[in-house]
Amino acid sequence: MSQEAARQRAGLWLRQAKDDLRAARILQGAAQAAQACFLAQQTGEKALKALLAAEDRDLRSHSLGALLRELGEEPAQRWQRQARVLDKLYAPTRYPDALGDELPSEVFGPEDAERALEAASALLVWAQGVLG
């Protein structure tokens, strides 16, 4: 893939990450914390995939920790806290059997959504800065 094509692909990932963050904020405002948490996770994942896409690298993982390690040791260390916050939200925010007898909508609250949105926003701002 040409460098220009890789940059365009990265731009698509970044635009979708921004859209996911906007949707997460709307859901947070509507007291839909579990869904806001999931879209925050998606924001972080897509922001990191934008960075990898710009280098025409592998995008297959859903783990933010793994994606960060793919980007290198410095990003992995610098952003590991945000990755951990968001990685915990990938499955249990969506599946009714992921948390035993409790629904995601009954487990995740406003504080979870706030923490997730903070982590996702930080990763998105960083990715935007790197990509220019």
Tens of pLDDT, residues 11-23? 999 999 999 999 9
The C-alpha atoms of residue 130 and residue 119 are separated, in whole angstroms, by 17
Which helix (H) or strand (E) segment holds residue 9: the answer is helix 3-29
Query: Quick one: how many helices (H) and strands (E) in the chain?
Result: 7, 0
Give the CB-side neighbour count of residue 128, counting CA atoms within 13 A.
13
Q: Show the CA angle centred on residue 39, arms to residues 58 and 69, nearest 5°.
A: 30
pTM for the structure as a whole: 0.94
Please give the pLDDT value at position 60: 86
Q: What is the mean pLDDT of the chain?
A: 95
Q: What is the mean predicted confidence (pLDDT) over 109-119? A: 98
Q: What is the mean predicted confidence (pLDDT) over 36-55? A: 97
pLDDT tens-digit map of 51-101: 999 999 877 899 999 999 999 999 999 999 999 999 999 999 999 999 999
Delineate the domains of the chain, giving CATH numbers in brackets.
Answer: 3-131 (1.20.120.330)
Residues near 72 by beta carbon (within 8 Å), at least 6 away in sequence? none
Residue 111 burial by Cβ neighbours in a 10 Å radius (0-12, 13-18, 19+) = exposed
Please give the pLDDT value at position 1: 75
